[in-house]
Structure 1
Amino acid sequence: MATQHSRSAARLMMAPAVILLLGWMLVPLTMTLFFSFKKYLPLRGGDLGWVGFDNYVRFVTSSAFWPSVVTTLIIVGGVLAITVVLGVLLAILLNQPMWGQGMVRILVIAPFFVMPTVSALVWKNMFMDPNYGLLAHLWKFFGATPVEWLSQASLPSIVMIVSWQWLPFATLILLTAIQSLDSEQLEAAEMDGAPALKRFGYITLPHLSRAITVVILIQTIFLLSIFAEIFVTTGGAFGTKTLSYLIFQRVLESQNVGLGSAGGVYAIILANIVAIFLMRIVGKNLDA
C-alpha cells in the first residue's frame, strides 16, 4: 500500500506538469475574458477602454453569427456521420485476413498524419480544380460538365475534405475495438444460423458502442474549431464561414481584438453545450 510519504512524493513530482497544464489553459482563457470587455484596436488607437458587454451584444447580433453557428454544426454533423459509418465498415474490412494486411492498414491510417493545410491544398488543386483536377477529368471522360466544387457545392466539399482526414482516426479506434471482440460469440451465432446482418446488429455493433462514443466525443471537440481547411479552400465564402473563421475575421482582418475575444467566449460556450449534449446522449455507454 502507498504510504503518506509516497503519496506526497507523487503529488510533488506531478505538481510541475499540473501547474504547466493549468497555466496553459487558464492564461489564454483569462486574457480572452479580459479583452472581451475592452475596445482594443491594435492598429486603430490601441486600448480604448472598457465597454462592458458591448462586444458580446455586437457579436451575437451580427448578421454573420447565427449562420456561422449553423455552418459549424452542419460540418460537424456531416463529418461525424461519414466517419462513423465508413469507419465501422473499414474496421470490419481491415479485420478480415488478407494478403498485405499490415500495409493496407498503414495506407488507410496515413491520411490522419497529413497536416490539415496540406490536405486542403491537395484536395483543392489535385482533385477539385474545375480545369485540371482529377474529378474534372473524370467528369469530362463521361461527357459531363466539371463541377466547381468549392463554389457550387462548397459545404459538401468541406465535409468531404475533413472526413477524409478524420476517417483514419475513427477506423483505428473502431478496429482496435473489433479486435477485442470475442470471436467465439460470432462463431456460436453463425453456428446457430444467424445471418451476417443480425450478427452485426446484435453482437458487433453493441460491442462497438463505447468506441463509437469515444470517436464522436473526441472528433466533436476538434471539429468545432475547424479553420485551416476553410481558410485554404474557400476563405469563408459560399456559406462556409464557421464560428472559428468569423472570430479570425474579427480579430485579424478587422483588427478588433475585443470583438474577437467575445466571439471566442461564445465558441467556448458552444463547445461546452455540444459536449454536455453528447455526454447525455451517448456518454452513458462509457459506464456500460
Structure 2
Amino acid sequence: MATTPMESSAAPAVQDAPGGRSRRDVSTAPLVAPSVILLFLWMIVPLAMTLWFSFQYYNLLDPTSGGFAGIENYTYLLTDPSLWTAMGNTLLLVFWVLVITVGLGTLLAVLFDQPFYGRSVARLLAIAPFFVMPTVSALIWKNMLMHPVNGLFAFFARLLGLPPVDFFGSFPLASIVVIVAWQWLPFALLILLTAIQSLDNEQKEAARMDGAGPVSMFFFIILPHLGRAISVVIMIETIFLLSVFAEIYVTTSGGPGLASTNLAFLIYLRALREYDIGGASAGGVIAVVLANIVAVFLVRSIARNIAD
C-alpha cells in the first residue's frame, strides 16, 4: 500500500550508523567534553585564586601573617594615585599605538597593493618585525637606535650638529609607543592588505572610468571596504596592548617615576617588587574587569559593523 506524504515525512531517520542508531542520535558531546573541561579549568582556576588572594593579607616576605582583608586591598588600590596614573598610561599607550598602526597600516596596505618591482621582497620585509620577540625588539631599540651615546639616532643628531636626545629619559611613554607600534604595524598591514585584495577589481575599474582619482578611490571605495578589517584589527590589538609588559621592563622599568608604568607593570611592581600578593591580585581583578569592559564594547561595535 502506498504511503501518503504525511506518513513519509514522519518516517524515522535512516538507520545508517553503527549499531542501528540514526545519525541524528549520535552525540559529539563526549568527544568535545575533555577539551571544554580543560579550557574551563585553565581559565577558572587562576581567576578563582586571584579573587581569593585579592581578599587576603598575603605578603611574600611574611607569608604567616595573613588573614581575611575584605575589600581593604581594593580600597587601598583605588585610592592610590599610582593606579590612576598607570590606567591613564595604559589608555594612552593603546590609543596612540592603534592610531599609528591602523593609520600607517592602511596607507602601506594601499601602497603594497600596487604593482612595483620587488613587491614580494618589500612585503616580506614589512611583515618581518611582527615575528621578532618583544624583548629582542625592545633591546634593539634601546641599545642600537635610541641610545643617547651609541644609538643610530644619536649618530645622525651629531652629524647634523644637534645634541643627542635621551628618549627613554625625556620621552619614556612616547618611546614605548614607538616600539610597540613598530611591532604591531606588520599585523595591521597584513590584515588590511588581505582585505584590499578582496576588493572587486571591476568596481575599481568602473570608478576609474567615471573619472575617480586616487584620493577619491581611497576615501569612497577602499576605506569603506576596509571598515570591517579595521574593526577586527582594533579589537585584536586592543586586547593584547592592554597587557604590554616586556617593552617597559627592558627599556624604562616604568620610569622615570611612573611616567611609563601601565597597569600590567604596576601589578608586577606590587607582586614582585613590594611582595604584596593581595594588592597585586586586586590589581589583577581590576585589570580583568577593564579588559572585559573594553572587549564587550569592541565586540558589540564590530558586530554592529558586520551587520551593517
Matching of residue 272 in structure 1 with residue 295 in structure 2: no
1:129 to 130, 147, 163: 147
Structure 1 SS opposite 2:199: coil
Q: Displacement of 1:225 after TM fit? A: 0.8
Whole-Å separation in 1 of the counterparts to 2:161 and 2:93: 31
Q: Report whether the alignment pairs 1:4 with 2:24.
A: yes
The corresponding residue for 1:242 is 262
CA contact (8 A) 1:174 1:211 kept: yes
Question: Is 1:207 aligned to 2:241, yes or no?
Answer: no
Q: 1:105 aligns with which of 111, 117, 123?
A: 123
Q: Do 1:117 and 1:228's aligned partners in 2 also have CA atoms closer than 8 Å?
A: yes
Structure 2 contact 239–291 (Cα < 8 Å) conserved: yes
Larger Rg: 2
Indicate the residue corresponding to 1:255 in structure 2: 275
Give the letter aligned to residue 225 of structure 1.
Answer: S
Aligned residue pair count? 286
Superposed CA deviations along residues 155-193 of structure 1, whole A, max 9, x for unmatched, are 111100000000000000001101100011111001100
Q: Say which SS state the counterpart of residue 261 (structure 2) adopts.
A: coil
2:105 corresponds in structure 1 to: 87
Question: 1:187 aligned to 188, 196, 205, which one?
Answer: 205
How far apart, in 2, do the equivalents of 1:277 and 1:13 lie? 33
Q: Percent identity?
A: 53
| Uncovered stretches (5+) of structure 1, i.e. residues with no partner | none
Cα distance in structure 2, aligned partners of 1:160 and 1:78: 9
Give the distance between the partners of 1:135 and 1:223, measured in 2 at CA.
26
Show CA shifts across 1:48-89 (max 9, x none): 111111101111111201010000000000000000001111
Give me the TM-score of the superposition, normalised by structure 1: 0.95
5+ residue gaps, structure 2, are 1-12, 14-21
Counterpart CA distance in 2 for 1:95 and 1:47 is 63
Residue 277 of structure 1, CA deviation: 3.1
Are positions 1:78 and 2:96 aligned together? yes
Does 2:27 match 1:34?
no
Matches within 5 A, 1:158-237: 158-237=176-255
What is the identity, as a one-letter code, of the residue corresponding to 1:121?
L
TM-score between the two structures when normalised by the length of structure 2: 0.89
- Quote the Cα distance in structure 1 between the aligned partners of 2:99 and 2:302: 14
Q: Which amino acid aligns with 2:216?
A: K
Q: Tell me the secondary structure at the aligned position of residue 45 of structure 1.
A: strand
Aligned-pair Cα RMSD in Å: 1.5
State the AA in 1 paired with 2:39: L
Q: Distance in 1 between matches of 2:85 and 2:306?
A: 33
- In the alignment, structure 1 residue 44 sits paired with structure 2 residue 41: no
